[in-house]
A and B are shown apart, each in its own frame.
Chain A
């Protein structure tokens, strides 16, 4: 079983829809990252969370440490949001600072 599980693997939405991507993890963590990977491959860090909720524009990320679960929400989705969204966790006490990555959720937003 993977230590970081994302769902769904693929998601197709119509422009304007509210989108939720989920991430569950099985290890103790210091922080959780949400990343965005565009077709060209480069990765952009969207959020880093250790508790609660963060918002940036139309993106909202939440984390429930007790349930070991995080969600990424996109409000009023737009075709430019089409990308792969990756959840990654920083293992608590990991001296290397290495991230454990989920396999990603491929989002396609249709106009």
Chain B
């Protein structure tokens, strides 16, 4: 079955280290998104990509970086410049080219800085 795979599910990082979160989809979706979720807040957009080799900053991009070298993959790097990286990170995808508005979500990665 098609879907989005995020790995790892739980991740611990020492302060000052960069860490990369994986997001892979086999849905042939053009657009992919990274969201951050904090307790008591709605999900906020970090970065998005509508096509391979192109991506755009979202509302809270500072301290994060992404790449989109392949259609299936949209990894997110949390850099040491991110002041408060402990959060739940969610990847999503959709296929705007088909006119369908439905999204598919991954199961998320919970990052804890220790």
For window 87-112 of B, CB contacts with A under 8 Å fall at 88, 90, 94, 96, 101-108, 110
CA of A2 to CA of B43, assembled, Å: 12
Question: Are B50 and A96 in touch, CB under 8 angstroms?
Answer: yes
A97 within 8 A of B: yes
Q: A31 — which chain B residues lie within 8 A by C-beta?
A: 101
For window 67-84 of A, CB contacts with B under 8 Å fall at none
How many residues of chain B are within 8 Å of chain A by beta carbon? 27
Question: Are A43 and B108 in touch, CB under 8 angstroms?
Answer: yes
Question: Are A101 and B42 in touch, CB under 8 angstroms?
Answer: yes
Pick the residue among A2, A96, A99 that contacts B103 (CB under 8 A): A99
Question: Are A103 and B41 in touch, CB under 8 angstroms?
Answer: yes
Question: Are B106 and A42 in touch, CB under 8 angstroms?
Answer: yes
Closest to B108 in A: A41
A90 within 8 A of B: yes
CA of A98 to CA of B33, assembled, Å: 8
A103-B40 contact given A43-B90, A45-B103, A97-B50, CB 8 Å threshold:
yes
Interface residues of A, Cβ cutoff 8 Å to B: 2, 4, 30-31, 33, 35, 40-45, 48, 50, 86, 88, 90, 96-104
Q: What are 23 A-B contacts defined by CB distance under 8 Å?
A: A2-B42, A33-B103, A41-B37, A41-B88, A41-B90, A41-B107, A41-B108, A42-B106, A43-B90, A43-B108, A44-B105, A48-B102, A50-B101, A90-B101, A96-B56, A97-B50, A97-B101, A98-B48, A98-B58, A99-B43, A101-B43, A103-B40, A103-B42
